[in-house]
């Protein structure tokens, strides 16, 4: 594992490598996602990288009509809304991300507690290239 600082920039770099990485406090084992350099539980500063399994359950969600600029570039917006959700990972931490695999025109079909799997979406090209975390409904759900 390369030595990287425990911050959002490294988190993003790992996303571009299609890895979902958090940091774990070496003292009290608390997991942070995105990673943090210091533990807010015990104030320990010794962190190690942990790759998350990427499986979790939907805790909350909303349909986004007013998209962020990155999402507008990806083709989302008022005419093409998307789900944004908070996912409780089986590994412990929660993270917010786009939810794929359900129709935002029928939000009642998306259920709290639905099992999800992390996917990595590459958008843009060249220097504009960036990878985004999203979660997809598991097949058969
Ligand atoms: Zn700690």
Tell me the per-residue pLDDT of 14-68, one tens digit each, with 9 for 90 and over.
Answer: 999 999 999 999 999 999 999 999 999 999 999 999 999 999 999 999 999 999 8
pLDDT at 2: 55
pLDDT at 3: 81
pLDDT at 141: 44
pLDDT at 70: 84
CA of 50 to the centre of ligand 1 (A): 14
Runs of H (alpha helix) within the chain: 8-16, 69-73
CA of 35 to the centre of ligand 1 (A): 13
Tell me the per-residue pLDDT of 78-129, one tens digit each, with 9 for 90 and over.
Answer: 999 999 999 999 999 999 999 999 999 999 999 999 999 999 999 988 888 8
Give the confidence band of 139 by pLDDT, cuts at 50, 70, 90: low
Q: Are 30 and 82 in contact (CB under 8 A)?
A: no
pLDDT at 138: 78
Tell me the residues surrounding ligand 1 (ion) with CB < 5 Å.
Answer: 25, 27-28, 30, 39, 41-42, 44
**Buried b or exposed e, range 104-128, using 16+ CB within 10 angstroms:** beeeeebeeebebbbbbbeeeeeee
């Amino acid at each position: 594992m390369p030595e990287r600082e425990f911050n959002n920039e490294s988190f993003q770099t790992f996303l571009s490598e299609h890895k979902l990485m958090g940091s774990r406090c070496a003292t009290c084992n608390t997991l942070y996602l995105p990673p943090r350099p210091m533990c807010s539980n015990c104030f320990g500063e010794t962190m190690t990288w942990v790759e998350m399994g990427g499986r979790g359950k939907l805790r909350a969600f909303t349909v986004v009509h007013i998209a962020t600029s990155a999402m507008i570039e990806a083709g989302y917006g008022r005419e093409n809304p998307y789900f944004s959700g908070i996912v409780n990972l089986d590994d412990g931490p929660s993270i917010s991300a786009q939810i794929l695999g359900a129709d935002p025109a029928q939000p009642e079909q998306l259920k709290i507690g639905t099992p999800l799997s992390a996917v990595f979406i590459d958008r843009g090209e060249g220097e504009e290239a960036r990878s985004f975390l999203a979660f997809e409904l598991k097949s058969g759900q």
